[in-house]
Amino acid sequence: MSSLGEQNKIEDKAKLSKLARCMLCARQLRGYLIAAFCLWHVFALTLANLRSLEIEKGTLQGDRFEQVTEPFAAYTSLVNSEQDWAMYAPNVPDESYLPILQLSFNDGSQLVLRSSSEPDLLNADASNASSLDPDASESQRRYAWRYRFGGLSKRKFHEHAASGKPSIHAWVRHRLAQHLRAMPSDAQRITRIECRRITISHVDASGYAHFIAANAGFDYAPADDPLWSGPLLPALSNLGSDQDG
């Protein structure tokens, strides 16, 4: 009897040590997995950062480096940890760019619609097309200081739109619809909608920022835009996409 009891005890011990060994193994495996994950994560973040460095002006790390490090950069997007810390780098810009809309009416008059990020012109009517004259006097091109609190996301959007990316169309739709909600009668009179980009020089020794120039831009035709949800513009209905510049 006693030998049977002892044998059971030995078996229990063996079972226990087997269980303990399994637990130890699982713990070790967990440790290795965590270590591998930490190494991967840190490595991926570092490589994603290295991709933005330029060895020489205008020269990134090279196509091969870009190709090899792509999965690491993609991983940072997957986990919402994109690495982009280039604000005011490599230099602080001395100019900003913003989109504007220039509307022409059937009576020959024009109206300028600006983005909410643009400061007010001190000595010129900002809605008048003459305010876009780059040869106007220094005081007419002068911007007032605007005390800023909030609106960073909108400013980011305007900056993005002014860089010529497709988001400019979203801004045009939004700004035009906003104007037509305020002035519905203008829908009957608009003959041309031109989207332009203006350049603003930052504050200089005079103490003010200045309007520099407005580029040529492109014409917008709501009838060609499937995402336009505002009213039809009768005077523009015969314009097609060939008007886009």
Structure tokens at 50: 């290295």
Find the binder of other proteins among 45, 214, 233, 239 (CB under 8 A): 45
Long-range Cβ contacts of 77-81 (<8 Å, 24+ apart): 81/45
Range 107-166, binding other proteins (CB under 8 A):
117, 119, 143, 145-157, 159-161, 165-166
Q: Is 75 in the site for other proteins (CB under 8 A)?
A: yes
Helix ranges (DSSP H) in 51-185: 63-78, 152-162, 167-182
Count, residues near other proteins per rule CB under 8 A: 77
Q: Cβ of residue 185: shortest distance to other proteins, in angstroms?
A: 21
Q: Please classify residue 31 by burial: count the beta carbons closer than 10 Å to its beta carbon, then call 0-12 exposed, 13-18 middle and 19+ buried.
A: exposed
Q: Is 32 in the site for other proteins (CB under 8 A)?
A: no
Q: Which listed range, 5-13, 47-55, 127-135, 211-219, lies at the site for other proteins (CB under 8 A)? A: 47-55
Query: In terms of CB distance, is 10 or 144 closer to other proteins?
Result: 144
Find where tokens 């800023």 sit: 148
Burial 104-141 (b: 16+ CB within 10 A, else e): beeeeeebbbbbebbbebeebebeeeebbeeebeeebb
Distance CA 174, CA 114 (A): 12
Q: Is 243 in the site for other proteins (CB under 8 A)?
A: no
Q: Which listed range, 6-14, 191-199, 202-210, 236-244, lies at the site for other proteins (CB under 8 A)? A: 202-210
CB neighbourhood size of 45 (10 A): 18
Residue 62 dihedral angles phi and psi, to the nearest 5°: 110, 155
The residues that bridge with 199 in the sheet, in sequence order, are 97, 213
Q: Is 67 in the site for other proteins (CB under 8 A)?
A: no
Query: In terms of CB distance, is 18 or 151 closer to other proteins?
Result: 151
Q: Cβ of residue 177: shortest distance to other proteins, in angstroms?
A: 7
Q: Which listed range, 4-12, 13-21, 103-111, 169-177, lies at the site for other proteins (CB under 8 A)? A: 169-177
Q: Is 85 in the site for other proteins (CB under 8 A)?
A: yes
Find the binder of other proteins among 202, 206, 237, 241 (CB under 8 A): 202
